[in-house]
C-alpha cells in the first residue's frame, strides 16, 4: 500500500480480484457446482462474447457448452471432484453456442472446497487453442504428404498419393488435374496458362465412395472459363471459396457444377501447381456437409502443399522425359524385326523398364553363318542406352573381320574399358563420373553347315539349349569377366553341336536363364517339331514370368535351327598344282549351270575362283578345298592350312602379278579371311545370283 493510504480488507480484495477475473481475464473461467451445473462464467473471452449469462447459469455443463464428447468430459470432472487431483490443459472439442463450427479448448480443472474441506464444485480455466490444433493438424498432413508424395518417379502415382494423404484428413473430396503435356514428360507451359490447354485428371479421392465424378480419372479436357479454376491457373494464387448453388461461375462448367451439388460441397480450396513461373496443374479440395469451411489460415498450408507436389511432379516429369528419350533411342538402336536366315529362325523381346541397357542382335556372317548377340549395360536412362548403342556398333564392326568369339569379346572389352576411362575422367560433379561402366555380353556363332555353335561369354550369360526331344541343357560356357574390366582373365570359347530343330535361348538376365532351364515345358513348344511361331513362344515366356522378374530390363533372343539345303552347297578337294585352277573352274561352271545362275554372275564367280585357287597354290599349304554356297549371296571359299595372311596389293603397271586379291575385291560384294585351328579360309561373296536360262560362260 502507498504510504498514508488505508488498508484494503482481504475479503474485499479477493472479491475485487474475482470480479476482475470474471469480467476482464482473457482466460475463460467457469465455476460448476457438485452437480456440474454452471454457477458462474467469464463472458469476456472471445468464445463467450455475445452469450447471455442467464442462458447458461443453472444448466448442466454438457447442455450449456455443446461438447463433442459429453460422457467422456463428465467422467473427467467427476474424477476431479472425487479425488481432488487437478487436470491441466486437457483438450476438449466443442461447438460455440449457436454455431456448428467445431473448436478446441485447453481445459484445466480444479476442485473447489472451503476451509472446512467441504467440496463446493469445480473451477475450469479454458483457453481457445483451435488455431494451434489446426496448425498441428495441418503439419501432420503436410508431413504425410512429404513422406508419401514423390516416392516414385511417376506423375500419376504422385497425384494419387497426394489425394490419398489429403482425404479425409484435410478434405472430403480431393482432385488433382495436371497439364497433359507434363504427364507425357514435356516442358510445362509458362504462366498464365493459355486457354484451351488440355489437363488430365490424374488424382481423385472422396470420403464418400458413392460420390459421382464429373470426369473419370485419366480424362483429358480443357477447363471452361471463366471459373475460379482458370483464374487460379492464370494468376497462380490459391483461393478459398464458399460454395452454394447460385454461384454464377457454375454455369460455365455444368458437369463440374452437377458433381459439386451432388457432393453437398460447402467450401472449396483451390491451389495451382506451379514451379519457376510455369504451370503444372491444379489441386481442388472440397469440404462437404457440416464440415468446418476452409479459412485464410489454410492458404499458407495450401501453398506449402502445392510447392512440394509441384516439385515432385516436375521431378517425375523430367524422369519420364529422359525415360521416353532413352526408350525411343533404344528402339532405334535395336533391330526392328528378325533377320531372315536360311537355316535359322529368330525372334526376340525386351521387357520395358527403367533400365534401357539390354540389347540383342543377329548378324549375318560369311559362309551362311549367323552371330547371335545378347548383352546388357549396367545402369539406366539415356547414358546406359548410349553405351549400349556404342557397344552394339563395335560388335557389328568387329563381326565383319570374322574374328573368333573370344577374340571379338577381347576387342570389345578394350572398347568398354576405354569408355569406362572416359567416364572416370569426367569432372567429379558430373553424376556419370560416379557411375562405373560395366556390361555383360554373350557372342555366339552358329554354323548350319557343320551344325555347331561357338560361344564366348563376358558375364554369366550362357544360353539354354532346347533339343528336338524337348529336353533342355545349359552348355558349360567358361565365364569371362564383365566388359569394362582391365587386367581380367582372358575370354574362352565353347564349341558344341546343335541338332537340326533345336532352339537356343539367350537372355541378358542370368535369373531368366535359370528360370527357362527349369521349365522345359515352357520351351518345348519352341522346337521345330511343334511348328509354333517363335514370336508366340517369346510372348508366352513373357506372360509366364513371376511378379518382379520382368521389372528389370531384360532381352531374350530365341533361335531355332533348320537343316541347310544340301543342294545349295558344294565342295571339292584340290591338288596343290597349277592344273587345279582349270579343274576348279570346271567344277564351278557345272555347279552354277545346275543352279541356273545368270551369265554375268557366273563369269565373275569363275574369275574369282581362278584368282583364289591360284593364290592358295602359290602361297598356301595343302590340302586345298574349294566350296560354293548359294545362300544369302553366292559365296566361294578356298581353304588351305597355311596361317599366312593374304595381303591386298596394288600392282604397278609393269608387274606381271599381284592383282589377284585386287580383282576379287572389285568383283565381290564382300571378301575376307577366316582363321581356324586347321588353317585359313579366304572367301568372297557376291550379291544373290539372278536366275537365268542363258548358257553360262566357260573358260
Q: Label each residue of 394-435 as H, E or C.
A: HHHHHHCCCCCHHHHHHHHHHHHHHHHHHHHCCCCCCHHHHC
At residue 2, the pLDDT reads 47
Dist CA 375 CA 398 (whole Å):
16
If asked whether residues 535 and 581 sit together in one domain, one would say: no
What CATH number is given to the structural domain containing 82?
3.30.450.20
- 10 part of a folded domain: no
C-alpha cell, 522: 515352357
If asked whether residues 618 and 655 sit together in one domain, one would say: yes
At residue 386, the pLDDT reads 85
Q: Which helix (H) or strand (E) holds 303?
A: helix 297-333
Secondary structure letter of residue 510 according to DSSP: H
Sign, CA torsion 387/390/395/398: negative
Q: Which helix (H) or strand (E) holds 12?
A: helix 10-24
Task: State which of 561, 588, 623 marks the end of a domain.
Answer: 561
Contact 167, 270 (CB under 8 A): no
Task: State which of 519, 541, 561 marks the end of a domain.
Answer: 561
Contact 402, 674 (CB under 8 A): yes
If asked whether residues 557 and 570 sit together in one domain, one would say: no
What residues contact 67, with CB distance under 8 A and at least 6 apart?
Answer: 61, 73, 92, 93, 94
Neighbours of 458 (CB within 10 A): 27
What percent of the chain is predicted at pLDDT more than 90? 33
Dist CA 533 CA 17 (whole Å):
98
- 328 part of a folded domain: no
3-state secondary structure at position 605: helix
Contact 283, 176 (CB under 8 A): yes
What CATH number is given to the structural domain containing 644?
3.30.565.10
What residues contact 113, with CB distance under 8 A and at least 6 apart?
Answer: 84, 119, 120
If asked whether residues 432 and 546 sit together in one domain, one would say: yes
- 583 part of a folded domain: yes
Q: What is the mean pLDDT of the chain?
A: 84
* Among 185, 295, 282, CA closest to 225: 282
If asked whether residues 224 and 81 sit together in one domain, one would say: no
What is the residue whose three cell numbers read 526376340? 348
* Among 119, 133, 236, CA closest to 189: 236
At residue 681, the pLDDT reads 92
Dist CA 458 CA 373 (whole Å):
11
- How many residues are given for the chain? 699
The number of folded domains in the chain is 4
Dist CA 73 CA 81 (whole Å):
13
Dist CA 493 CA 47 (whole Å):
88
Contact 291, 172 (CB under 8 A): yes
At residue 527, the pLDDT reads 64
pLDDT band at 99 (very low <50, low <70, confident <90, very high): low
Dist CA 680 CA 621 (whole Å):
10
Task: Output 267 or 53, whichever has higher pLDDT.
Answer: 267
If asked whether residues 138 and 175 sit together in one domain, one would say: yes
611 CB-side CA count, 13 A: 24
CA distances from 17 to 219, 588, 656 (A): 67, 128, 133
If asked whether residues 64 and 173 sit together in one domain, one would say: no
If asked whether residues 434 and 377 sit together in one domain, one would say: yes
Contact 408, 399 (CB under 8 A): yes
pLDDT tens digit string along 541-590?
888 877 766 556 688 899 999 999 999 999 999 998 999 999 999 999 99
Sign, CA torsion 398/630/452/642: negative
Task: State which of 289, 322, 355 marks the end of a domain.
Answer: 322
At residue 583, the pLDDT reads 94
C-alpha cell, 695: 548358257
- For residue 550, report the phi and psi dihedrals to the nearest 5 degrees: -90, 5
pLDDT tens digit string along 337-368?
777 788 999 988 877 655 557 889 999 999 99
Residue 658 has pLDDT above 60, yes or no: no
Neighbours of 496 (CB within 10 A): 15
At residue 647, the pLDDT reads 63
Dist CA 86 CA 652 (whole Å):
118
What CATH number is given to the structural domain containing 364?
3.60.40.10
What residues contact 552, with CB distance under 8 A and at least 6 apart?
Answer: 351, 353, 355, 509
If asked whether residues 318 and 342 sit together in one domain, one would say: no
∠ CA 28-34-36, nearest 5°, is 50
At residue 659, the pLDDT reads 63
Residue 604 has pLDDT above 80, yes or no: yes
Q: What is the pTM of this model?
A: 0.67
Residue 152 has pLDDT above 90, yes or no: no
Residue 698 has pLDDT above 70, yes or no: no
Dist CA 221 CA 201 (whole Å):
8
What CATH number is given to the structural domain containing 284?
3.30.450.40
Residue 79 has pLDDT above 50, yes or no: yes
pLDDT tens digit string along 182-202?
998 888 998 888 888 999 999
Q: What is the dihedral of CA 530, 536, 541, 544, to 10 degrees?
A: -100
pLDDT band at 697 (very low <50, low <70, confident <90, very high): very low
If asked whether residues 371 and 306 sit together in one domain, one would say: no
- Section 2-11 average pLDDT: 56
Dist CA 607 CA 660 (whole Å):
10
C-alpha cell, 214: 464429373
If asked whether residues 268 and 408 sit together in one domain, one would say: no
- 3 part of a folded domain: no
- 5 part of a folded domain: no
Residue 48 has pLDDT above 60, yes or no: no
What residues contact 132, with CB distance under 8 A and at least 6 apart?
Answer: 104
If asked whether residues 445 and 312 sit together in one domain, one would say: no
**Residue 355: domain span:** 338-561
- 359 part of a folded domain: yes
At residue 1, the pLDDT reads 44
Q: Could you tell me what percentage of the chain is helix, strand and coil, using 3-state DSSP and rounding each to the nearest 5?
A: 35, 25, 35
pLDDT band at 695 (very low <50, low <70, confident <90, very high): very low
Residue 491 has pLDDT above 70, yes or no: yes
At residue 348, the pLDDT reads 87
- Section 286-307 average pLDDT: 88
At residue 100, the pLDDT reads 63
* Among 351, 345, 341, CA closest to 533: 345
pLDDT band at 180 (very low <50, low <70, confident <90, very high): very high
What percent of the chain is predicted at pLDDT more than 70? 87
- For residue 367, report the phi and psi dihedrals to the nearest 5 degrees: 65, 40
Residue 650 has pLDDT above 60, yes or no: no
Dist CA 621 CA 626 (whole Å):
14
Residue 24 has pLDDT above 80, yes or no: no
At residue 657, the pLDDT reads 45
pLDDT tens digit string along 190-242?
888 888 899 999 999 998 877 777 788 889 999 888 899 999 999 999 999 98
- 2 part of a folded domain: no
Lowest mean per-residue pLDDT among 164-173, 286-295, 305-314: 286-295
pLDDT tens digit string along 492-512?
999 999 999 899 999 888 888
Sheet holding 670-676, edge to edge: 569-574, 624-630, 634-640, 679-686, 670-676
∠ CA 395-558-675, nearest 5°, is 40
At residue 654, the pLDDT reads 37
Dist CA 269 CA 453 (whole Å):
69
Lowest mean per-residue pLDDT among 130-134, 476-480, 569-573, 647-651: 647-651
Pairing of strands 452-458, 493-497: antiparallel
∠ CA 267-271-274, nearest 5°, is 175
Sheet holding 344-351, edge to edge: 344-351, 554-561, 503-507, 464-466, 472-473
Contact 15, 100 (CB under 8 A): no
Contact 179, 202 (CB under 8 A): no
- 301 part of a folded domain: yes
- For residue 250, report the phi and psi dihedrals to the nearest 5 degrees: -65, -25
Amino acid at each position: 500500500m502507498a504510504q498514508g493510504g488505508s488498508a484494503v480488507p482481504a475479503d474485499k480484495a479477493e472479491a475485487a480480484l474475482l470480479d476482475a477475473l470474471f469480467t476482464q481475464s482473457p482466460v475463460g473461467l467457469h465455476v460448476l457446482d457438485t452437480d456440474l451445473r454452471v454457477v458462474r462464467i467469464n463472458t469476456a473471452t472471445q468464445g463467450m462474447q455475445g452469450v447471455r449469462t442467464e442462458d447458461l447459469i443453472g444448466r448442466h455443463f454438457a447442455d450449456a457448452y455443446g461438447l463433442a464428447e459429453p460422457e467422456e468430459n463428465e467422467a473427467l470432472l467427476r474424477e476431479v471432484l472425487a479425488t481432488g487431483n487437478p487436470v491441466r490443459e486437457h483438450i476438449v472439442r466443442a461447438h460455440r453456442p449457436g454455431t456448428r463450427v467445431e473448436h478446441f479448448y485447453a481445459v484445466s480443472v480444479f476442485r473447489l472446497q472451503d476451509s472446512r474441506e467441504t467440496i463446493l464444485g469445480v473451477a475450469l480455466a479454458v483457453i481457445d487453442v483451435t488455431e494451434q490444433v489446426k496448425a498441428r493438424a495441418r503439419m501432420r498432413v503436410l508431413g504425410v504428404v512429404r513422406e508419401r508424395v514423390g516416392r516414385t518417379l511417376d506423375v500419376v502415382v504422385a497425384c494419387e498419393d497426394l489425394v490419398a494423404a489429403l482425404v479425409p484428413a484435410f478434405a472430403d473430396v480431393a482432385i488433382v488435374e495436371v497439364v497433359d503435356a507434363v504427364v507425357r514428360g514435356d516442358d510445362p507451359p509458362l504462366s498464365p496458362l493459355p486457354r484451351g490447354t488440355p489437363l488430365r485428371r490424374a488424382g481423385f479421392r472422396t470420403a464418400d465412395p458413392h460420390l459421382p465424378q464429373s470426369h473419370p480419372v485419366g480424362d483429358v479436357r480443357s477447363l471452361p472459363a471463366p471459373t475460379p479454376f482458370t483464374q487460379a491457373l492464370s494468376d497462380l494464387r490459391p483461393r478459398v471459396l464458399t460454395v452454394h448453388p447460385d454461384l454464377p461461375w457454375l454455369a460455365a462448367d455444368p458437369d463440374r457444377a452437377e458433381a459439386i451439388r451432388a457432393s453437398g460441397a460447402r467450401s472449396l480450396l483451390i491451389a495451382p501447381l506451379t514451379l519457376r513461373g510455369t504451370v503444372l496443374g491444379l489441386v481442388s479440395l472440397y469440404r462437404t456437409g457440416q464440415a468446418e469451411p476452409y479459412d485464410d489460415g489454410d492458404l499458407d498450408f495450401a501453398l506449402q502443399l502445392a510447392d512440394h507436389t509441384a516439385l515432385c511432379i516436375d521431378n517425375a516429369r523430367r524422369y519420364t522425359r529422359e525415360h521416353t528419350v532413352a526408350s525411343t533411342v533404344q528402339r532405334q538402336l535395336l533391330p526392328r524385326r528378325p533377320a531372315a536366315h536360311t537355316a535359322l529362325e529368330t525372334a526376340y523381346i525386351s521387357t520395358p523398364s527403367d533400365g534401357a541397357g539390354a540389347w540383342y542382335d543377329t548378324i549375318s556372317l560369311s559362309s551362311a553363318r549367323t552371330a547371335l548377340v545378347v548383352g546388357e549395360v549396367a545402369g539406366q536412362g539415356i547414358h546406359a542406352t548410349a553405351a549400349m548403342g556404342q557397344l552394339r556398333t563395335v560388335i557389328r564392326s568387329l563381326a565383319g573381320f570374322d574374328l573368333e568369339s573370344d577374340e571379338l569379346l577381347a576387342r570389345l572389352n578394350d572398347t568398354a574399358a576405354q569408355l569406362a576411362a572416359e567416364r572416370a575422367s569426367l569432372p567429379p560433379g558430373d553424376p556419370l563420373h560416379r557411375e562405373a561402366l560395366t556390361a555383360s555380353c554373350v557372342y555366339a556363332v552358329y554354323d548350319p553347315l557343320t551344325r555347331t555353335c561357338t560361344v564366348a561369354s563376358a558375364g554369366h550369360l550362357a544360353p539354354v539349349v532346347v533339343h528336338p526331344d524337348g529336353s533342355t541343357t545349359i552348355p558349360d560356357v567358361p565365364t569371362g569377366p564383365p566388359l569394362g574390366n582391365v587386367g581380367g582373365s582372358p575370354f574362352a570359347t565353347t564349341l558344341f553341336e546343335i541338332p537340326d530343330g533345336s532352339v537356343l535361348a539367350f537372355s541378358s538376365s542370368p535369373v531368366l536363364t535359370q528360370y527357362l532351364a527349369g521349365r522345359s515345358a515352357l520351351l518345348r513348344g519352341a522346337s521345330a517339331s511343334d511348328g509354333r511361331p517363335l514370336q508366340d513362344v517369346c510372348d508366352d515366356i513373357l506372360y509366364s514370368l513371376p511378379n518382379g522378374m520382368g521389372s528389370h530390363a531384360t532381352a531374350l533372343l530365341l533361335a531355332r535351327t533348320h537343316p541347310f539345303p544340301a543342294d545349295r552347297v558344294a565342295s571339292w578337294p584340290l591338288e596343290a598344282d597349277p592344273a587345279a585352277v582349270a579343274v576348279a573352274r570346271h567344277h564351278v561352271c557345272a555347279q552354277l549351270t545346275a543352279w541356273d545362275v545368270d551369265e554375268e554372275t557366273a563369269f565373275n564367280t569363275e574369275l574369282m575362283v581362278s584368282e583364289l585357287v591360284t593364290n592358295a597354290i602359290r602361297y598356301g599349304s595343302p590340302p586345298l578345298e574349294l566350296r560354293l554356297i548359294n545362300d544369302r549371296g553366292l559365296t566361294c571359299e578356298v581353304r588351305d592350312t597355311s596361317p599366312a595372311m593374304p595381303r591386298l596389293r596394288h600392282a604397278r603397271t609393269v608387274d606381271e602379278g599381284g592383282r589377284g586379291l585386287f580383282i576379287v575385291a572389285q568383283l565381290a560384294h564382300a571378301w575376307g579371311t577366316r582363321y581356324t585351328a586347321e588353317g585359313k579360309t579366304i572367301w568372297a561373296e557376291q550379291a544373290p545370283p539372278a536366275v537365268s536360262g542363258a548358257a553360262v560362260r566357260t573358260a
